[in-house]
Chain A
Amino acid sequence: MTARRTSRRRKQRKPVDTGAADDDAAVDGAVDDAASGGGAKSRQGAQQHHKKGTSKSASDPSGATLETASNSKSGSNKKRRANGSGQSTRKAAKNAQQRPKGQSTTTTKRHAIDSDEEDDDGDVDGDSSSGGSGGGGGGGKSNHKSTSSSNHKSTSSNTSNSNDNSNDNSNDNSNSSSGSAATNAGDPVDQQEQKDGIDPEVLDAARETLRHQLLNPPLPNTARHRETEQLLFDTLYAGVVRGESNSVLLTGPRGSGKTTCVQSVLQKLRQDPAAKERGFILIELNGLVHGDDAAGLKHMASQLRVAASEDVDEDEDIASSAAETARALRQALQQGSGATSQCIIVIVEEFDVYAHFGQQTLLYTLLDHTQLAAVPMVVVGVSCRVDIYSLLEKRVLSRFSQRFVHLFNAWADFPTYLQQFVDMLLLPDTFEPASFRHAWNVHVRALQHNPTLERELREMHAISTSDLRPLQKMAFQAVTRTAPARPFLRAEDVFEEKMRQTRDAKVTLMLDLSALELCLVIAMNNLRYRGTMSFNFEGVYATYKAFAAGINKHGVDFYRKPVALKAFEHLSALELIRPASTTVASKGSQHAATDVYAAVHLLVDDLQVMQVVDKCTSLSTRVKMWAKAHGL
């Protein structure tokens, strides 16, 4: 095929500047993908489009799998809509051939701008095609999803041997399009794997390993974390071995590894010979679980008695009130002495919850005890609130040791953030067989060179530099998506998962609404545009009615008030609108009969409405125009 020849020739002529192994495979894939796309309609249109698409993808130096896929797809889609035969192959190839050599450098520079444009392009195309084919569900999917799904379609349309390789998007494409595996000579591991096929059991094992790894992430290896760990360990060690009471407060945003840090320190402490010999009593409290002072104190008391190997039932009331429990606890604790008694380590998670109860009895009792020289006790508070200091009462604060540790992950620079993502997906060195591990890791490392994925990750990085949990979730889902047919991580899987997790839920939900419900939303949006901030059903219906009356001849259905009221109620059940007065807004009364005059707020902003209007296939053009013009 001409396309392949050109790209190969190019490979010889122009050395590739980055070291990624499958660059040229990607280029091939892009061309082939475009080629296998579908029918051709107008020669000029296809050519124009392809000139843009292929030239850019060809020039892209870094395995531009997704970019190229969406690129060439936007062209092929247009054609597919026209007619479905596979004629564009030669044309696309010719384009690639005709492309002047110097063009590649200029397009590379324009890449950033270009990619955005391309994205929009794919957007429109993807949607219209999914709506047209009727299989896509019209609404629910993000544009990117439809992009890659139709990419699937194109690869599976000519299935030659796509079932056992598909290690990377590029390879997948190049193989499935023509069945000649000779092109990707750059990646020996892949070829070997293709020959062997992947053992499903190995894949399962890999998946399980990664699931474990992702769910139990290790403590981030930063200086701050190490310092904190050391400090905590020293404090606890002093408490356990030397009987020094103390208190530490560990703060930090969610997902910054506070709990992990505490747990790892406890683990170390358990293994430490000196601490082991002395032994300690561990009491873990959690503000979410032991929801108030009384419950917390009770739990502590019963834990102590369990530790003292008294046979107790937690249900049994130790004392009737929190105050009595506290007193009993205090007495129990004062009986020991620092020299002989075992140290009590109290871990209080969600420390801030206890600060919200009137007297802060629990915190007071705990911290007060650390000041007494009786039984040694170390209190470790864990909280996500940075302002915890200002939440505490004076008498509590005065008993606190003032040891604050603020823990945070800051992968301020993007490469380390990216590295975190890659690290969490790499198979550990202990994993066997090594050949699979190697192949897997190669693919994972290749992910970071994918420009589209990088863009998305940059966006996530811009949102939060410290929280890795979104990355974990994304990685988790991407790992579970692997199957024996496509055993390695693919950029598009990760990408699709990212889109799925971060898309605008309101827009997705609204795309599933009926035309009438959307009309009401649009009516409200239009009213808001004209300066009304809260609406009632009567007003919304009047607006809708005025609109429908104006264009009734043009086939827009008009619905009577009770039907519209039902639709309105549905919107309220989906919580897209909310009663304006807070007294009515108490969550229980949502399903009471709707007062048609009660003021409501629309909880969807103009941008979201416009997105829905753009994407929705069930709305008539008139309604769309009405929405766009904001009813003016």
Chain B
Amino acid sequence: MSSSVRDGGGGEELVGREKELEQVRQYVGKPHSPCLPALFVYGTSATAKTTVVRTVMEESKCRYAMINCLETYSPRVLFEQILNSLSGDTPTPDNLYGGHARCDTVYKFIKYLKGVCDSQEDPKATVYIVLDNCERLRLFRNHDLAVFLRLRELVHRNVGVILISTVIWEKFREGTGFADPLMAHFPAYTKAETLAILQRRTPRDVHPSHFRQFVSLLWDVFHGPCRDLNELAHLVALFFDKYYAPVRAGKINADNKTALFKAISPLLRAHFSSLYLRETSTAEWLAAGAGGDGDKTESTAAPSSASTTSTRGASQLHKLELPYFAKVLILAAFLASHNPARSDLAIFSKRQRKLSKQRGRSKRKAARRADTTAKFRLPTSPSTFPLSRLFAIFYSLMDEETDLTADVYSHVKSLLSLRLLTRTTTDDNFDSAKFKCTMAAEDVIALGRSVEIDVVSYLHEVNA
């Protein structure tokens, strides 16, 4: 989190974190100042929590250990890392990768910590332990977190603990011995601050004001779903070259904001649907951009944004070329998963009869009913179905007669291996096995369209 911010422009100063810096500094005080046992720093991701704490630690000239609890999967690893970091011992071949000491219990940790504190040039100076992502500590036995919260009391030395987390403090309280730490909240960056931070990424050949224009535009478009600085930085990296390409090519003047926005907006709108998802890697994206010029990318982007949401969602699936039988099998599986078995007869046996008329009316009725019912019914997860039911629906869907052949079985098998179907029973008996369709409704609807079957009209909810 912090690294990405810092890598951005190489600027060391922290934008918009003055208050927070001050707060942590006040907690730390002078190198000899006694400090409260623990400080709890919280805030959503990408609010410079780690960076601020590290900055303060570095300027405080105190000994400190900065541990990311994601790395410490057991108390022993945690304790040893802290001790190594504080004492400056690193596991090397010389000490047989021993580090400072072997330490797997709390009382040993406290014993060694006392030793480390006393071995400083100045035994009175405060020692800090910073635990990043400290919510992970809850995975250990309860007491370990409590020990850190009252470490000062247990060690009888000047020890401060700074906990960093995205989770609020309420969620930590369980078990005994919890001394509430001091709270420090890091609010999310405001627009101005975000822009100032992103501004550091200005490429050399671009005028800062033009870049600012672009970043501001990006914020306006994306801040609704995404206030995460990291993601915005990713977007900046993703889009800026495309945005600036017309200027570089000499087609549009860099000051002409509207024209530039017009050129980029289809692309941005398209990206709206895949925000955070990282469907294409940056390398792929750049390669695609480098392959054709601006016009070409625009032409590929335009139809996708013009098409409806549902087909865009299914775009991934379309890449997967399935045979016709397999597609119908998926449809059948979907219907089997989402319709109750008792409704099968009504839906499939006489479906030819007055299909169109009834559909329209019932749909409207259903819509009206959905409006009026106050009590909301949760969508249920797909139910399981036996193989026989799948085949029954499958044959009902197929217009022409098909024989039950080994082919169909093999399709089921391949769908299973593609994870479009999952089996819920154990592997040994194929005959009595039960299955589940894992595909989302819109994907299936799109798929149905490609084989000209209107899946919606077969759904029990719609017909009921």
Q: Which residues of A contact B (CB under 8 A)?
A: 134-141, 204, 207-208, 211-212, 215, 254, 259, 286-291, 295, 299, 314-315, 350, 352-353, 384-385, 469-470, 473, 476-477, 480-481, 500-501, 503, 505-506, 508-509, 511-516, 527, 530-532, 534-536, 538-539, 542-543, 557, 559-563, 566-567, 573-575, 587-588, 595-599, 618, 632
Cross-chain pairs A/B with CB under 8 angstroms, 13 sampled: A137-B188, A140-B188, A211-B33, A480-B29, A505-B168, A505-B170, A506-B168, A508-B187, A509-B44, A538-B379, A559-B224, A560-B309, A563-B275
Contact A536:B381 (CB < 8 A) given known A350-B177, A559-B225: yes
Task: Contact check, A211 vs B29: say whether CB atoms are below 8 A apart.
Answer: yes
A-contacting 9-mer, from B4-12, B136-144, B245-253, B403-411: B136-144
Q: Does B42 sit within 8 A of A, measured CB to CB?
A: yes
Apart from A500-B183, A559-B224, A574-B166, what are 17 other A-B pairs with CB-CB below 8 Å? A140-B185, A208-B29, A211-B35, A215-B34, A287-B177, A288-B176, A290-B107, A385-B176, A473-B182, A509-B44, A512-B44, A539-B376, A557-B272, A560-B312, A566-B276, A574-B168, A575-B168
| Cα-based distance from A348 to B46 in the complex (angstroms) | 43
| A139 adjacent to B105 (CB under 8 Å) | no
CB neighbors of A among B145-191 (8 A): 146-147, 150, 153-154, 166-171, 176-177, 179-180, 182-191
Determine if A566 and B277 form an interchain contact, defined as CB atoms under 8 angstroms apart: yes
The interface residues of chain B lying within 8 Å CB-to-CB of A575 are 167-168, 171
- Chain B binding surface, main DSSP class: loop
Partner of B188, one of A512, A530, A597: A512
Q: Indicate if B14 sits at the interface (CB-CB under 8 A).
A: no
Bound Cα distance from A632 to B371, whole angstroms: 10
Alpha-carbon distance between A530 and B44 when the two chains are bound, in angstroms: 30
Judge if B192 is at the interface, Cβ distance under 8 Å. Answer: yes
Bound Cα distance A527, B379 (Å): 13
Check if A514 sits within 8 Å of B381, measured CB to CB.
no
Rounded to whole angstroms, the CA-CA distance of A350 and B107 in the bound complex is 14
Q: Which residue of A lies closest to B182 (CB)?
A: A473
| Min C-beta distance of A581 to chain B, whole Å | 12
Give the distance to chain A from B238, nearest Cβ to Cβ, in Å: 15
Cβ-defined partner of B150 (8 Å) among A288, A295, A513: A288
Is the Cβ of B146 less than 8 Å from the Cβ of A288?
Answer: yes
Of residues 221 through 272 on chain B, the ones whose CB sits less than 8 Å from some CB of chain A are 223-228, 272
Given A211-B33, A509-B43, also A561-B440 (CB < 8 A): yes
Is the beta-carbon distance between B188 and A505 smaller than 8 angstroms? no
A19–B51 alpha-carbon span in the complex (Å) = 49
B26–A514 contact, CB under 8 A?
Answer: no
Which of these, A136, A208, A469, A587, contacts B30 with CB under 8 Å?
A208
Q: A139-B188, A505-B183, A574-B44 are in contact. Are A473 and B440 (CB under 8 A)?
A: no
Closest A-B pairs by Cβ, 4 of them? A140-B187, A597-B381, A512-B188, A480-B26
Contacts of A385 in B (CB 8 A): 176
Q: Which of A315, A477, A500, A531 contacts B375 (CB 8 A)?
A: A531
Would you call B44 and A557 a contact (CB within 8 A)? no
Q: Say if the beta carbon of B344 comes within 8 Å of chain A.
A: no
| Contact A139/B187 with A512-B44, A516-B224 known, Cβ cut-off 8 Å | yes
A314 touches B190 (CB 8 A): no
Nearest opposing residue in chain B for A516, CB measure: B225
Q: Which of A139, A314, A470, A531 contacts B111 (CB 8 A)?
A: A314
